[in-house]
Amino acid sequence: MRLSRYFLPVLKETPSEAQIASHRLMLRAGMIKQATAGIYSWLPLGFKILRKLENIVHEEQVRAGHIPMLMPTLQSADLWRESGRYDDYGAEMLRITDRHGRDMLYGPTNEELITDIFRAHVGSYKDLPLTLYHIQWKFRDEVRPRFGVMRGREFFMKDGYNFDLTKEDAMHAYNRHMVSYLRTYERMGLQAIPMRADSGPIGGDDTHEFLVLAETGESEVFYDSAITDLSLGERAVDYNSWDDCAAIVKEWTTPYARTDETHDEALFNAIPEARRKTSRGIEVGQIFYFGTKYSDAMGATVQGPDGKSTPVHMGSHGIGVSRLVGAIIEASHDDKGIIWPEGVTPYHAGIVNVKQGDAEADAACEAIYASLNALGLEPLYDDRDERAGGKFATMDLIGLPWRITVGPRGLKNGVVELTCRRTGESEELPPEQAIEKLALVYAGHVLRPSL
Ligand code: P5A
């Protein structure tokens, strides 16, 4: 992409309404614009990152054996009356009446709708296990929408639902989700710690939230620092294996980690003092096992191997995809701007031409731009006729992990400058070597055509 032809409305001023870094930076970097309280338009740069995160979530869900689909945003109130949640959900639910006077709602979650689909089409235990998911906009009329996309009213969520014959099978689904979530967050360059939590309006006893540690997080968390040493890395996981998934879950759930809702002071004090940590966290996902709560209420049964009709065991699992954009920025920024992890960056490298209009500099930039594209990488070429200082500031603000700076002085010596956004370190290299280095950096990453 050439910046001269892009739509990147960066702001010079720091917006006064934004209280935390991610909100400020998303506004300043031209990623979002508030449409009305808690509701945002995703401008091209923000949309590109949202799509990247969505793709990672899809890839990891499909890898775990879960099946993508799409349900609507608007739902009929009648289904929610069946489960009893139409009244229970309270003022957070946006209620709508259509022209025929029928009660509708903008879905805050989809347990009822998916259970209705299940009961209409699945009748035998032979069709289990089944996990369906979608990534769709949700609406919750939060009392205090704040921090930009972090606590929006309209937000983008991946929500998945498992249907199993037995509690044991459903616990495998729970474990499988925990492992696939750990992988998902790791690919996004995040450490998200599973913490025993409270189930709230979704219901059930078994639930974990995934929290990214950040001072600006809305939850208070208590944990054993040993948990922050864990990582899945390149570990191969057999999602079909009960034991494989359970072993990883055990590893992650053995060290103490709880939100304030379930915190137990006595257990916490049993951890060696040096490892006892209290912090704040951003909740980027939550998984639930709630047994037959919805299948009992809505008659979602299958015929078991003994021929008897039995309600299915269910759980649901959510990832806050739009919130993750903010969470990644909270975890990865400095006073100049965002620092995207390589796995989610909207463009792989910026090219800054410090002397636009200089024939040699222009030609060198064009050649680098073409080579990076040919490798399947997406460069963002700042080809505007602007001062170099302004171009650097924009690149630092939008946070691309690498920048290639091209100018007549370097070109005289056959070199360009390759700068790492995270460390600030630069090296002078012939253009081919800078390109080779970027190819190596991104070798392990999934590259896909641009939107
Ligand atoms: C699980 C999927 C559920 O709704 N039903 C279907 C279950 N869980 S949840 O914890 O309530 O939400 C899942 C994740 O969505 C994000 N989230 C939000 N993101 C932005 N703004 C909001 N107002 C908001 N509310 C929830 C969180 O990341 C949460 O973990």
The residues spanned by each domain of the chain are 9-338, 349-441
Give pLDDT, residue 299.
96
**Positive or negative, the Cα torsion across 119, 208, 211, 230?**
negative
Smallest CA-to-CA distance from 246 within 332, 173, 175, 320 is with 175
Measured in Å, residue 217 CA sits from the centre of ligand 1 at 15
How many angstroms from the chain centroid is the CA of residue 92?
23
Give the model's confidence band at 279: pLDDT under 50 very low, under 70 low, under 90 confident, else very high.
Answer: very high
Which letter does DSSP use for residue 236 in this model?
-
Backbone dihedral angles phi then psi of residue 75, each to the nearest 5 degrees: -130, 160
Residue entry with tokens 């032979």: 126
Measured in Å, residue 208 CA sits from the centre of ligand 1 at 12
Q: What is the mean pLDDT of residues 100-109?
A: 98
Measured in Å, residue 160 CA sits from the centre of ligand 1 at 12
- Residue nearest to ligand 1 atom 30, measured at CA: 285
Beta strands in 94-129 (DSSP E): 94-97, 103-106
Give pLDDT, residue 269.
97
- Residue nearest to ligand 1 atom 27, measured at CA: 320
Q: Exposed, middle or buried by CB within 10 Å (0-12, 13-18, 19+), for 136?
A: middle
Give pLDDT, residue 423.
97
CATH of domain 349-441: 3.40.50.800
Q: Which residues contact residue 449 at a Cβ distance below 8 angstroms, ignoring those fewer than 6 apart?
A: none
Give the model's confidence band at 204: pLDDT under 50 very low, under 70 low, under 90 confident, else very high.
Answer: confident
- Pocket flag, ligand 1, residue 162 (CB < 6 Å): no
C-beta of residue 335 within 8 angstroms of C-beta of residue 392:
no
Measured in Å, residue 57 CA sits from the centre of ligand 1 at 15
C-beta of residue 350 within 8 angstroms of C-beta of residue 417:
no
- Pocket flag, ligand 1, residue 202 (CB < 6 Å): yes
Ligand 1 pocket test, pick from 149, 157, 177, 283 with the greatest ligand atom count within 8 Å of Cβ, gives 157
pLDDT digits (tens, 9 = 90+) for 64-86: 999 999 999 999 999 999 999 99
- Pocket flag, ligand 1, residue 152 (CB < 6 Å): yes
Q: Give the Cα separation of 128 and 105 in Å (integer).
A: 30
Percent of the chain whose predicted confidence (pLDDT) is above 90: 94
291 pLDDT higher than 70? yes
- Residue nearest to ligand 1 atom 12, measured at CA: 318
Is the bond preceding 44 in cis, omega lying within 30 degrees of 0?
no
Percent of the chain whose predicted confidence (pLDDT) is above 70: 99
Measured in Å, residue 216 CA sits from the centre of ligand 1 at 18
Give pLDDT, residue 14.
86
Q: Give the Cα separation of 267 and 264 in Å (integer).
A: 6
Q: Give the Cα separation of 395 and 400 in Å (integer).
A: 7
327 pLDDT higher than 90? yes
Q: Give the Cα separation of 388 and 405 in Å (integer).
A: 10
Measured in Å, residue 232 CA sits from the centre of ligand 1 at 24
Give the model's confidence band at 336: pLDDT under 50 very low, under 70 low, under 90 confident, else very high.
Answer: very high
pLDDT digits (tens, 9 = 90+) for 230-252: 999 999 999 999 999 999 999 99
Measured in Å, residue 157 CA sits from the centre of ligand 1 at 7
pLDDT digits (tens, 9 = 90+) for 116-148: 999 999 999 999 999 999 999 999 999 999 999
Give the model's confidence band at 223: pLDDT under 50 very low, under 70 low, under 90 confident, else very high.
Answer: very high
- Residue nearest to ligand 1 atom 15, measured at CA: 320
Give pLDDT, residue 238.
97
What CATH fold (topology level) applies to the domain 9-338? BirA Bifunctional Protein; domain 2 (3.30.930)
450 pLDDT higher than 70? no
Give pLDDT, residue 203.
78
- Pocket flag, ligand 1, residue 134 (CB < 6 Å): no
Structure tokens at 82: 């069946």
- Pocket flag, ligand 1, residue 38 (CB < 6 Å): no
Give the model's confidence band at 449: pLDDT under 50 very low, under 70 low, under 90 confident, else very high.
Answer: low
445 pLDDT higher than 90? no
Mean pLDDT of all residues belonging to the chain? 96
